[in-house]
Amino acid sequence: MPRRADPSSLRAGTPRAAQHAEKALIDPGGERGRGPWLLIVGAALLVALAVAKPWQAPLPGPAPGSGGGAGRPAVAATEAAAASPSPSARSADDVAAARCSRPLGWRTYAFETWHGQRIRTWTVVEPLAAAESATALDPRIPVVPIIGQEITALGYCAPVVEAIAPPASVNVTVWAVEPSGVARVLDVRRIEPLRPSSLSALFAYPDPAAKPGVLSPWPAGRYVFAILGEPGSGWGRWFAAQVVPFP
């Protein structure tokens, strides 16, 4: 589990111990691309069965009359396989939680370029608990440094613990805080997960000049995220990401 970071420990040349990172396959939500592999694996299993012809030999099991049946193990395996849901049948929350490694607390979430590799990173954050009455310039909002050669996506992962998880329906607003102290709302585009879930959201920077399918880097600066429940619910979480491009 990622540990809380001292921003000073994130300078160039120092280990990023407070962050967990893994190579990112840019497949929004990780919910595509499994179908062909499943077909290939299934075809390989059919070929193996055709060669071995296991049905021509008795399956290991209790002797006749002992109360068991030779075919019972195969039936049990079939039942177990049928009970396992396919990836396409998983709920949006299951996919979102798995993509975030099922955190027990709040995390910032980013796509970064680091030493030439595109990776996903999660950093511990304790967001400000406040309703919609708060503002993007509230000095109590915690700020997390996000450092990389390029930051191509920003968002959050929510805890999966039911007692502190967000409500099922939330609205996310992102502000850019200008050096002058003015905050403006960004028309961000959600890229992950494909099916909306309150447990996670990852956004692309709104660059009108970006080519289709290309994620533009988030410019250096501070971005405030507000994850709010339905109006009047009184539920909300706020944090800020300070993007620091590293040459």
40 and 152 in a single domain? The answer is no
Q: Are residues 69 and 106 part of one domain?
A: no
User: Whole-angstrom Cα distance, residue 202 to residue 191?
Assistant: 6
Question: How buried is residue 63: exposed, middle or buried, by Cβ count under 10 Å (0-12/13-18/19+)?
Answer: exposed
- Asked if the structure places residue 2 within a domain, the reply is no
Q: What percentage of the chain has pLDDT greater than the value 70?
A: 64
Low-confidence ranges of the chain (pLDDT < 50): 1-87
> Distance (Å, rounded) from C-alpha 185 to C-alpha 166?
22
Same-domain pairing of 103 and 140: yes
pLDDT per residue as tens digits for the range 83-125 = 334 445 568 899 999 989 999 999 999 999 877 788 999 999 9
Structure confidence at residue 212 (pLDDT): 87
d(CA 148, CA 19): 12
Helix ranges, the chain (H) = 34-52, 72-83, 92-99
Domain of 204 in residue numbering reads as 20-30+93-245
205 and 136, same structural domain?
yes
| 68 and 120 assigned to the same domain | no
Q: What is the pLDDT of residue 54?
A: 41
Whole-number Å distance between alpha carbons of 29 and 86: 16
pTM, rounded to two decimals: 0.65
Q: Which of 90, 105, 131 is the last residue of a domain?
A: 90
Residues 120, 55 share a domain: no
Q: Do 77 and 102 share a structural domain?
A: no
pLDDT of residue 245: 86
